[in-house]
Amino acid sequence: MTRTWAIAKRTFIELIRDKRTLAMMLLAPVLILTLVNYIFSVNTTTNVKIGTVQVEQALTQPLDKTKHVSTKSYESDSAAKKALKDQKIDAVLTQKDSKHFNVLYANTEASKTSLTRAALNSALIQNKIGTLSQVATQAVMQNSSEAAALKQQTKLSESYSYGDKNTNFFASIMPIFIAFFVFMFVFLISGISLLKERTSGTLSRLLATPVRRSEIIYGYMLSYGILAVVMTAVIVFYSIFVLNIQVVGSIWSLFAINIVLAMVALALGLLISTLAASEFQMIQFIPLVIVPQIIFSGMIPLDGMATWAQVIGDILPLKYAATAMQGVILHGDTFVRILPQLGILLIFLVVLLAANIRGLRRYRKV
């Protein structure tokens, strides 16, 4: 019992002296729980905007009176579809004649599609009741055959810009999950692998040679980068060809986004490994590096959040990768349209590479 107490006392004293471990154990869970609580308590009311093309006012008025629904009139079907592609509206409603309507859903968010469908059905019912009431009154007054109009049915034809009627919420966040898994696995593999080389003495022997610090970092980036490219290809192509994720845009644009993201994750993993003294400390960084990435990646809309929450999202690389991924997969964005997000990811990469080169100064000054 005395020996057990002695071992426990020594271990406890070492733990108390390790300020970083104490901070990770006590502060990190509190911070993450606070962020999660805030994210899921933010008001995320669904609002939809419907573009209309030559639709009679008798139908648009009930739509505008529906809570969280608004309409915008367009002169042509092509103009409305362009607005749909640019994510300015959530559906396009066109009128063929007095009894036939077509609706094209963006269908990138299942909740918006459901709200749009419910609003349209309600408005069509109100419009039909009003029309039939007028026809019935005229038929009684004129005693004519117009009463046959009471049997006419209003028809609404539905089509989808993305997916089909069975597309669910998971389809809209799948692009974020693809980017997240690429980021997480590359980060873990690169960070732990380099840390293992350092603790085993391989890095120390390498630093004893005339090789420059920048050459060491570029060498690691190249070697692990090849593995990251293979891993990225597996994740992307498995999601598309096995899980049958529909991609409206170019698969190669999707691949380019994930390659750049993998390089950012690789550089970040190398940087964190230079700060950690052991595998245990490397694991301690995971909650602070990985969890905020997924929280502020756009899985939950950031528009309705406080400014400070949006600022956190703006300094995390996964947000830009997820935005570009959603643009390509859900909206068919071209390579030119995702260049701003790719440019920001490249800035992250350059900054992290510079930080890695500087970080090695703690092991060798030149």
| pLDDT at residue 346, as a whole number | 94
Pair 288, 312 in one domain: yes
In this predicted structure, the answer to whether residue 295 has a pLDDT above a threshold of 60 is: yes
In this predicted structure, the answer to whether residue 32 has a pLDDT above a threshold of 70 is: no
Residue 214 lies in a domain: yes
How many Cβ atoms from other residues are within 10 Å of residue 95's Cβ?
15
DSSP notation for 272-339? HHHH-SSHHHHHHHHHHHTHHHHHTSSSS-STTS-HHHHHHHHT-HHHHHHHHHHHHHHH---TTTTH
Share of the chain above pLDDT 70, in %: 76
Average confidence (pLDDT) over 256-269: 90
Tell me which of 140, 160, 180 is where a domain ends: 160
In this predicted structure, the answer to whether residue 279 has a pLDDT above a threshold of 90 is: no
Pair 106, 131 in one domain: yes
Residue 189 lies in a domain: yes
Residue 126 lies in a domain: yes
pLDDT tens-digit map of 37-56: 666 565 567 788 898 888 88
Residue 26 lies in a domain: no
Pair 195, 72 in one domain: no
In this predicted structure, the answer to whether residue 347 has a pLDDT above a threshold of 90 is: yes
Pair 74, 194 in one domain: no
Range of the domain at 322: 168-362
Pair 237, 352 in one domain: yes
Yes or no: say if 207 and 249 are a contact pair by the CB < 8 Å rule. Answer: no
| pLDDT at residue 143, as a whole number | 46
Tell me which of 143, 160, 177 is where a domain ends: 160
- Residue 120, burial from CB neighbour count under 10 angstroms (0-12, 13-18, 19+): buried
How many domains does the chain fold into?
Answer: 2
Pair 239, 292 in one domain: yes
| pLDDT at residue 344, as a whole number | 94
- Helices 339-359, 317-331: axis angle to 10 degrees equals 150
Residue 33 lies in a domain: no
Return d(Cα 258, Cα 294) in angstroms, integer: 15
Pair 293, 203 in one domain: yes
Q: Nearest CA to 101 among 138, 147, 56? A: 56
pLDDT tens-digit map of 151-191: 455 677 888 887 777 777 777 788 888 888 888 888 887 77
Tell me which of 160, 190, 223 is where a domain ends: 160
Residue 9 lies in a domain: no
**Angle, vertex CA 76, rays to CA 75 and CA 81, nearest 5:** 120
Pair 293, 144 in one domain: no
- The CATH number linked to 76 is 3.40.1710.10
Backbone angles phi, psi at 311, to 5 degrees: -65, -40
Pair 172, 155 in one domain: no
| pLDDT at residue 304, as a whole number | 64
Residue 210 lies in a domain: yes
Mean pLDDT comparison of 13-27, 102-116, 188-202, highest-scoring range = 102-116
Residue 214 tokens, joined: 């920048």
Residue 7 lies in a domain: no
pLDDT tens-digit map of 2-15: 755 765 666 567 66
Pair 324, 197 in one domain: yes
Pair 267, 330 in one domain: yes
Pair 71, 180 in one domain: no
